[in-house]
Amino acid sequence: MKILVVGGGGREHALTWKIAQSPLVEGIWCAPGNAGMAAVAECVNIGAEDTGELARFAEEKRIDLTVVGPEAPLVAGIADLFQDRGLAVFGPTREAAQMEGSKDFAKQLMLEAGVPTGRAEVFTDYEAAEACILNRSAPYVVKADGLAAGKGVVIAQDDRAAYAALKACFQDRSFGSAGEKVLIEEFLEGQEVSIICFVDGEDILPMAPAQDYKRVGDGDTGPNTGGMGSYSPVPVLSTEGYHRCVEEILRPTARALAARGIHFKGILYAGIILTAGGPKVLEYNVRFGDPETQAVLPRLESDIVEAMLAVVEGRLAGASLKWSDDPCVTVVVASGGYPASYAKGYPIGGLEEAGALNGVTVFHAGTRPGEGGEILTDGGRVLNISALGADFAAARDRAYEAAGKIDFEGIYYRRDIALRTLEG
Ligand code: GLY
């Protein structure tokens, strides 16, 4: 089979690396890819949002399956476009992708399905939203309805911060049309767990759970980022707790979508808070999590292409996944200054030494090839170092030993990824 992977971050490198292990696969192309993906696939210079050009390329190369990494092309309708042109694609249609493209849509569907989630009110103007804040107490969760490149959710610790978040949406229009509707949501207290799930209509096949780290600094301090690390499995989630998440959250959600006549095909990712009152959904996404995928896929012993084909061909009901018992820890290596401004274009040293360590895989997130054959930094998050180990202590030690071998100007990474798994 010929596979096209759309995207160029750490998640897409992990997907490409796993797809390349499938005996079904004879060639992989990535658009646009990165310097790491170029080692296992051919990178083509087409942006992930250039859906027309991607379809043209898939036709020209006779691609058998296109796997879409990021949410933006899915919400824009890449799956509809590919299906209309007779091209097989792994990812939901535009209508189904509203589960991530509209927080209001997802919230209404969860209420309909009886899925536990935080209470929320929806507003389309500043004054009404401001009145809501006056009648409630902090903390508030203020969410832009649409896609806002990970910046649309603010946890406001006081009224002033909540007004500022509302002003950014309604008055400054910082998120354009994505901020024309805003949800003010109950703050959910507890540890977060991510479950990435293959879905084909009412049939679901959940993957092993993972946890990510959103804040830039050790001890969960500083601003939010695209993710500074992750690990899988999640010791704080018991087998029974996982079962509850599947049966009380993922399955009823898939059924509610089907009841609305929406046939979801692809990945549904539930961000779940383990509250004192049970698991509650924080958000849904319609693609693999980043950087959770980088910690989950090294543990997957089954062929991921088989699972994707089962979704595309409507035979997910009989499919299963086999997992390694070994935990995996992923440390995100970032550019100094991220998530604010940072410089790019620095040569990266130590990639081979890090990747040669037992159990370690170095996924590239923001890299590009330099003219002299060297690999250069090309983003805020540069590398994702994933390490398997017999237990979390061993996996952490390996991931940090590998991170210690990487060298570039301004290198930064958190030192406490997966530390809580050792604290009992
Ligand atoms: N790790 C959060 C996300 O992928 O959206």
What is the rounded CA–CA span in Å between residue 291 and residue 365? 10
CATH assignment, 121-185: 3.30.1490.20
| CATH number belonging to the domain at 328-422, selected among 3.40.50.2300, 1.20.1250.20, 3.90.600.10, 1.10.357.10 | 3.90.600.10
Residue 108: its pLDDT value, please? Answer: 97
Q: Which residues contact 381 (CB under 8 A, 6 or more apart)?
A: 9, 10, 225, 226, 227, 291, 332, 333, 334, 335, 338, 365, 366
Sequence letter at residue 5? V
Residue 285: its pLDDT value, please? Answer: 97
pTM for the full predicted model:
0.96
| Angle separating helix axes 126-134 and 159-170, nearest 10 degrees | 170
Ligand 1 atom closest to residue 271's alpha carbon, by position in its atom list: 2
Between the CA of 127 and the centroid of ligand 1 the distance, in Å, is: 31
CATH 3.90.600.10 residue ranges of the chain are: 328-422
What is the rounded CA–CA span in Å between residue 402 and residue 355? 7
Q: Going by CA atoms, what residue is nearest to atom 3 of ligand 1?
A: 289
Between the CA of 117 and the centroid of ligand 1 the distance, in Å, is: 18
What is the rounded CA–CA span in Å between residue 214 and residue 39? 29
For 110: left if phi > 0, alpha if psi spans -120 to 50, otherwise beta; the answer is alpha
Residue 93: its pLDDT value, please? Answer: 98
Contact 413, 401 (CB under 8 A): no
Contact 43, 31 (CB under 8 A): yes
Q: Which CATH class is domain 2-93?
A: alpha beta
Ligand 1 site, CB within 6 A: 212, 227, 285, 289-290, 292
CATH 3.30.1490.20 residue ranges of the chain are: 121-185
Residue 105: its pLDDT value, please? Answer: 98
Ligand 1 atom closest to residue 212's alpha carbon, by position in its atom list: 1
Taking only the tens of pLDDT, the chain with its 424 residues reads 999 999 999 999 999 999 999 999 999 999 999 999 999 999 999 999 999 999 999 999 999 999 999 999 999 999 999 999 999 999 999 999 999 999 999 999 999 999 999 999 999 999 999 999 988 888 999 999 999 887 888 899 999 999 999 999 999 999 999 999 999 999 999 999 999 999 999 999 999 999 999 999 999 999 889 999 999 999 999 999 999 999 999 999 999 999 999 999 999 999 999 999 999 999 999 999 999 999 999 999 999 999 999 999 999 998 999 999 999 999 999 999 999 999 999 999 999 999 999 999 999 999 999 999 899 999 999 999 999 999 999 999 999 999 999 999 999 999 999 999 998 6
Half-sphere exposure of 123 (CA within 13 A, CB side): 23
Residue 149: its pLDDT value, please? Answer: 82
CATH 3.30.470.20 residue ranges of the chain are: 191-312
Residue 318: its pLDDT value, please? Answer: 87
User: Is beta strand 2-7 parallel, antiparallel or unpaired with respect to 367-369?
Assistant: unpaired
Structure tokens at 190: 């507890």
Residue of 194, 228, 268 to mutate, ligand 1, most atoms within 8 A of C-beta: 194
**DSSP alpha helix (H) spans, 341-414:** 351-356, 392-405
Return the closest-CA partner of residue 407 out of 356, 361, 348, 337.
348
Residue of 269, 273, 283, 287 to mutate, ligand 1, most atoms within 8 A of C-beta: 269
Residue 152: its pLDDT value, please? Answer: 86
Between the CA of 195 and the centroid of ligand 1 the distance, in Å, is: 11
Residue 424: its pLDDT value, please? Answer: 64
What is the rounded CA–CA span in Å between residue 72 and residue 138? 31
Q: Going by CA atoms, what residue is nearest to atom 4 of ligand 1?
A: 289
What is the rounded CA–CA span in Å between residue 250 and residue 234? 18
**What is the residue-wise DSSP string for 159-183?**
HHHHHHHHHHHHTS-TTGGGGSSEE
What is the rounded CA–CA span in Å between residue 95 and residue 118? 23
Structure tokens at 285: 């996404």
Residue 240: its pLDDT value, please? Answer: 96
Which overall architecture, per CATH, does domain 191-312 show?
2-Layer Sandwich (3.30)
- Would you call 385 helix, strand, or coil by DSSP? strand
Residue of 282, 290, 417 to mutate, ligand 1, most atoms within 8 A of C-beta: 290
